[in-house]
Copies of this chain bind each other. A is one copy, B any other.
Amino acid sequence: MNDLAFSVPSAVPPVDLPRRSEAETPSSPVERFGADAPLRLDAGIDLGPWQIAYQSYGRLNADRTNAILICHALTGDQHVANPNPLTGKPGWWETLVGPGKPIDTDRFFVVCTNVIGGCMGTTGPASMNPATGRAWALDFPLVTIRDMVRSQAMLMDRLGIERLFCVVGGSMGGMQVLQWAASYPERVFAAMPIASGARHSAQNIAFHEVGRQAVMADPDWRAGRYLDEGARPRKGLAVARMGAHITYLSEGALHRKFGRTFQDREAPTFTFDADFQIESYLRYQGISFVERFDPNSYLYVTRAMDYFDLAADYGGVLAGAFRNSPARFCVISFTSDWLFPTRESRAVVHALNAGGAKVGFVEVESDKGHDAFLLDEPEMFAAARGFLDSAASELGLG
């Protein structure tokens, strides 16, 4: 795999069948809501009909008290612990979720939904707009983290789950966890936001904006109408992903993994080839991402993160968001995460303390950057297991 700019084909067959079909008829359960049960969006729009795709593991107990909701990150999906239907790769959190794992599917009923605005079966810009028979594209209304949570709450109603034993998520997933505690305090027994924060920082908004501009600068984006026009802004989305990927890693990890090591060569070629391993790695990250993610979804979901500012909904006082929360919290951050640095988690912890909530805080020593939450991090696993065990005892779960 060499020069991205030269080697990525920008034309694709007119109808993007597998991807379109995951958006409409996903390889996972899906709940459909008619126009009579619209999703009320923060943008002031009632979205309906709409649908929400989800995956589940384990069994709901008779009291319906052992449900854990996992919230996925920006480019994640509901396939937490099963092979991904598009890539065939293992689920994105198989390290944490499964029989005997810290989120133990032998004990808990684990649910993960694809977010609203996503592209894996929950309604989003790649879904069909019933009014036109074409993809929503940019006619899809903008969504927020609160909209994601509201849609999840409607699914929980359908599943007959009144209160979640725990809501867990990393990065954007952690934002949803915090929003759950704020929006539905009585429905959350325990909450575990990981590598996250109560707002998106200026620097994070800036990185997202560059990614969006990269997508929109690609002429194959076609003002968002690429699905109808048989195009696909592969290069733009790949560039966006490459840039974002750097922010998921730490400088230290990049240095340790790649340093200035050349890729399959002894010396620089004096060309624009991927001389360095890090270049080759990033190009691969960009290229593989475009095969599984919808470019417009990337715009919508990054925007939802940018808009997230939980304190703003409570007069600028974050503690206000948690004033009524009876939940116990376990906040986890990673020392080398510079996208959601520990100080963002600490601000959440301070607000929880100020709101009188029960909260534990673990800063995991790791050089893996933001991505640590997806990786093999024994200290995180131990913290998650301990927290869930203790909360389960409190609730009297077997």
Contacts and interface: CB of A to CB of B under 8 A. Distances in A.
Interface of A: 3-6, 42-44, 138, 141-142, 199-203, 205-207, 209-210, 212-214, 216-219, 221, 223, 235-236, 238-239, 242-243, 246, 249, 251, 254-255, 257-260, 268, 270-272, 274-276, 278-279, 282-283, 286, 299, 303, 306-307, 309, 312, 338
Contacts of A299: 272
Nearest to A257: B202
Contacts of A309: 260
Nearest to A247: B246
A392 B219 CA distance: 57
Contact of A206 (B5, B199, B246): B246
B213 A242 contact: yes
Contacts of A260: 199-202, 205, 309, 312
Given A205-B276, A219-B219, A239 B214 contact: yes
B217 A218 contact: yes
B209 A242 contact: yes
A272 B207 contact: no
Count copies of this chain in the complex: 2
A395 to B, nearest CB: 37
Given A205-B278, A213-B235, A214-B214, 16 more contacts: A4-B217, A5-B212, A44-B270, A138-B272, A199-B260, A201-B251, A201-B254, A202-B254, A202-B258, A202-B276, A203-B254, A206-B246, A206-B278, A214-B239, A217-B217, A268-B307
A217 B279 contact: no
30 contacts: A4-B213, A4-B216, A4-B217, A5-B213, A5-B216, A5-B221, A6-B216, A42-B270, A44-B270, A142-B268, A199-B260, A201-B255, A202-B254, A202-B257, A202-B260, A203-B246, A203-B249, A205-B278, A206-B254, A206-B279, A206-B282, A209-B279, A210-B242, A210-B246, A214-B214, A214-B239, A219-B219, A239-B239, A260-B309, A276-B306
Contacts of A286: 213
A3 B238 contact: no
Contacts of A303: 272
Nearest to A244: B210
Contacts of A223: 6
Contacts of A238: 213, 217
Nearest to A223: B6
